[in-house]
Structures are given as structure tokens and as C-alpha cells.
């Protein structure tokens, strides 16, 4: 089985396993106690904090360990907003942040705060000018990921950090996807990360709050981790997390070159091997191991199952997954095709032969799913200047498949009106038009759902 979902959770690094086992004997006691066992645990914890701070590029007393990356984000956002509540109740995030950031923003909004969500381009990148324009006198905090978790696009963190610093607004950087490759550049104020993204054990997050940043921890607190992460520290897991961070950093430069070549190969060959595919994400400013593409006329969940049967573990931002019936918020913000979406995120040390085998298997897997869904064959008949396709009650990618089947039945200049109540149609029909050289006219209210108008250009 080839595991191609490292962006969700990287396999445990051998160094992490060794450090975890080695520290179980000395890291079990309470590091707050003064007896011998407590002092041993405290030494392990302090050494891990020093090493983590060196890898991040901060002071040790600015670093705390949390039970997860998500908890680090929730604590960091809430604490920074509370610490600057006298400044105002305005938060800035990008439209493609991780769900942990967006959930924090929703909670803040529900409590009376205001949130600006900065748009991204079709490659998934924010324009630093968008953050500059969103800044206000009452802005308490801005948040920006270092790199996108779904499409791999690297964000202009240093530039945004400079803009925020000049305005006196702290910037929190979610560095979960990138910290295993490089320190985060720029004059940021807060940073979060998660160990299982770089091959450490799950259940360890990092939260950095620079000195001078106003911060008020929310909820019950205790004396541990500067009052910012209540509860007994999992010292063996923390030691393993930091050991693996140092190990992957030592390998990063060489491994990044190799993974960039493999992902560039996937980006180039998938459109050659599979018709009607859109490769998404910035082609240049991207993480080494992530490549994402979407396939017309394909059910994303069905394709993932097909690839799983062929021996490949991948993930999807498609609207048709087991957990959601709406398109990924990242793909939606980018305005790209969402149906049949596949994210390949290669783990460090992946074999080139596995990538080649994936490229051999993929065309057959896509063709199989399209055949089961009745994907369109070329149409030649001309019947009417306008056709209505009733796709109400049908989920992706059926509305687009039905549109593709009939577009050839109207003359050039004729229109097809697609009726759909699936949220994904608002994204996928315009994306189909761009890919197939047809004109997306727009949408109109319908008695049920929405009518999407497409004009045939050729």
C-alpha cells in the first residue's frame, strides 16, 4: 500500500520512535516536583523546549506545548483577541485557512466580533495588499497560514507580517504544513504548529507568543506551560516531536529537491494521461510534496475508493466525500473545479516506483468511475436553441455530466439552462465552461434551486 496523504498525518519518523521509547523511562514523572524523578522529567521538557525554540526561531520562554495543533490555534487566536480587546473586535483571516482558524473566527463572530476574510487568486495565494486593505483602527489580530494544506500554495507571510507590524497588529501564522521544511520568515507575532504533520507523534502542538504581544489565556488555567496549556505535559511525546522536527530539518534540503521533482512529474503527466483534468494550486510557490488535481465527471469519493483498491491512500477536497456534501472551502475560494478532486501529498522517503505506479493506475481508475456515472460521449445532434437540464436533487458530478451530454444538442450561440440545488454546481459549472471553452452566462433564481446558464461557443 502506498501512503500518499502525508499532509494529513506524516508517518512516524524513526527518530521520533527512538526518542519516544527512550524517554518513557525518564519522562513519566511530574516535572513540577523537586524530587529526582521530577527533576529528570523537567530536564527532558526544558531541553525539548530549547530545541523546539531553536528550530522555530524564537526564545524558549515564548514557546509552549499544547495537546494538538488545533488546540494551539484555538488558544492562540482566542488569547490574542482577548489580550487586545481594548484595541477593538476585528479579526482578519484568509479565505483558505485551516478549519481550526475558521472555526475560531466563527466563535469570535458569534460573540459580537467582526471578521474580514481575505480572498485568494486562482492559485490559492493571498495578495499582501488584501491584508493591507483589510486593516482597520480596531483590528486586534490577523491570521495567515504559511502554506495551504489542500493545494500546497505558499503564502507571502513575510510581506504580510511587515504590513501588520507597521500597523501595530500582531500576525498569527499557522505553520502546520511548512515548519518541517523551514523556519517561518518575517516579523510574525504568534505561531502554531502540529507535530504529526512532520512525522512526530500525534497529540503535540506548538504555540509561540512573542514577548510584547498582549495575550490573555481564555478558560480555566493552571501553572503549567505559562498558563496557556492546562494539564499534565506528555513529555515522552514532546521529546519525540522535537527530535523528529530536528531530524526532518536536517534532511529537508535534499528531500525537498527529490519531492519537487516527483510532484512536478505528477503535475505534468496527469493532464496528459487523463482527459478533462484541472491541476490546481500555484505552480511555483508551493510545498515540495503536495499536488492537487480535479477530474470532470467524477465522484470524488468513488475515485478515492477506486484508488484505495489499487493500493493508494490519497485524500480529497471534493464536494462528494463521506464527511460533507459541500465543496472544500479552499477550492471554492480559489474558484477552481471541485468535483473528482484528489490531493496527493508524498511522505518523505517515498519510492519513485510508487509514484510511477500511481500514474499507471490513475487513468484506469478515473475511466472506471466515469463509466459507472455515464460520463458523456461526443454529441452531434442539433435540436433546439435552448435546452433545460433538470438536475434537482442530484449531487456532484451529475449536474455537470448532464450538461456535458446535451451541450452539443444546441447550436452555437444556443444555451443550456441547468437546474440544480447542489451548492457545488455554483463552482463546478463555471469551471467546466472554462475548461471546455464554453461561456458561463450566470445564474438565475428558480422555483427550486438555481438555474445556471451556459452558452455554447463551439
Which residues are annotated as catalytic? 320
SS3 352: helix
Nearest to 132 by CA among 163, 165, 94: 163
Nearest to 80 by CA among 199, 247, 208: 208
117-141 in b/e form (b: 16+ CB < 10 A) is: bbebeebbbbebebbeebbeeebbb
Total number of residues shown for the chain: 458
- Mode of pairing for the β-strands spanning 277-280 and 205-209: unpaired
Say if residues 412 and 457 touch (Cβ distance below 8 Å).
yes
Backbone φ and ψ for 452, nearest 5 degrees, come out as -105, 125
Q: How many CB atoms lie within 10 A of CB 214?
A: 17
Q: What is the DSSP-derived secondary structure letter of residue 428?
A: H
- Mode of pairing for the β-strands spanning 277-280 and 290-295: antiparallel
Say if residues 64 and 45 touch (Cβ distance below 8 Å).
no
The conformational region for residue 124 under phi > 0 = left, psi -120 to 50 = alpha, else beta, is left
- Written as nine digits, the cell of 66 is 499544547
Amino acid at each position: 500500500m502506498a501512503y500518499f496523504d502525508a499532509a494529513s498525518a506524516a508517518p512516524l519518523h524513526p527518530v521520533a520512535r527512538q526518542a519516544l521509547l527512550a524517554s518513557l523511562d525518564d519522562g513519566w514523572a511530574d516535572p513540577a516536583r523537586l524530587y529526582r524523578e521530577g527533576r529528570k522529567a523537567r530536564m527532558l521538557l526544558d531541553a525539548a523546549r530549547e530545541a523546539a525554540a531553536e528550530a522555530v526561531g524564537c526564545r524558549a520562554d515564548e514557546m509552549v506545548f499544547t495537546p494538538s495543533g488545533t488546540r494551539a490555534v484555538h488558544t492562540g487566536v482566542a488569547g490574542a483577541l482577548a489580550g487586545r480587546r481594548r484595541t477593538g473586535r476585528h479579526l482578519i483571516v484568509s479565505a483558505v485557512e485551516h478549519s481550526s482558524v475558521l472555526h475560531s473566527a466563527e466563535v469570535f463572530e458569534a460573540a459580537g466580533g467582526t471578521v474580514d476574510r481575505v480572498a485568494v487568486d486562482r492559485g490559492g495565494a493571498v495578495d499582501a495588499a488584501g491584508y493591507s486593505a483589510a486593516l482597520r483602527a480596531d483590528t486586534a489580530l490577523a491570521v495567515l497560514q504559511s502554506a495551504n494544506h489542500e493545494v500546497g500554495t505558499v503564502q507571502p507571510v513575510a510581506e504580510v507580517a511587515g504590513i501588520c507590524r507597521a500597523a501595530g497588529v500582531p500576525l498569527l501564522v499557522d505553520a502546520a504544513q511548512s515548519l518541517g521544511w523551514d523556519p517561518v520568515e518575517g516579523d510574525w507575532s504568534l505561531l502554531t504548529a502540529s507535530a504529526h504533520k512532520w512525522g512526530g507523534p500525534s497529540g503535540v502542538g506548538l504555540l509561540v507568543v512573542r514577548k510584547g504581544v498582549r495575550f490573555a489565556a481564555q478558560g480555566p488555567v493552571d501553572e503549567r506551560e505559562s498558563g496557556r496549556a492546562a494539564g499534565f505535559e506528555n513529555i515522552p511525546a514532546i521529546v519525540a516531536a522535537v527530535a523528529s522536527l530536528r531530524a526532518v530539518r536536517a534532511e529537508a534540503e535534499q528531500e525537498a529537491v527529490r519531492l519537487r521533482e516527483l510532484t512536478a512529474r505528477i503535475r505534468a503527466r496527469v493532464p496528459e494521461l487523463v482527459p478533462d483534468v484541472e491541476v490546481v494550486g500555484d505552480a511555483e510557490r508551493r510545498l515540495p510534496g503536495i499536488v492537487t488535481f480535479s477530474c470532470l465527471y467524477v465522484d470524488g469519493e468513488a475515485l478515492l475508493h477506486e484508488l484505495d483498491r489499487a493500493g493508494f491512500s490519497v485524500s480529497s477536497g471534493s464536494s462528494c466525500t463521506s464527511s460533507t456534501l459541500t465543496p472544500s472551502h479552499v477550492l471554492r475560494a480559489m474558484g477552481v473545479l471541485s468535483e473528482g478532486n484528489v490531493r496527493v501529498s508524498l511522505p518523505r522517503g517515498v519510492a519513485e516506483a510508487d509514484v510511477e505506479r500511481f500514474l499507471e493506475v490513475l487513468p484506469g481508475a478515473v475511466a472506471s468511475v466515469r463509466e459507472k456515472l455515464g460520463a458523456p460521449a461526443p454529441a452531434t445532434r442539433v435540436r433546439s436553441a435552448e435546452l433545460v437540464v433538470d438536475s434537482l436533487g442530484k449531487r456532484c458530478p451529475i449536474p455537470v455530466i448532464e450538461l456535458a451530454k446535451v451541450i452539443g444538442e444546441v447550436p452555437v450561440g444556443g444555451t443550456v439552462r441547468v437546474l440544480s440545488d447542489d451548492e457545488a454546481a455554483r463552482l463546478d459549472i463555471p469551471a467546466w465552461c472554462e475548461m471546455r471553452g464554453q461561456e458561463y452566462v450566470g445564474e438565475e433564481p428558480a422555483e427550486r434551486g438555481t438555474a445556471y446558464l451556459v452558452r455554447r461557443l463551439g
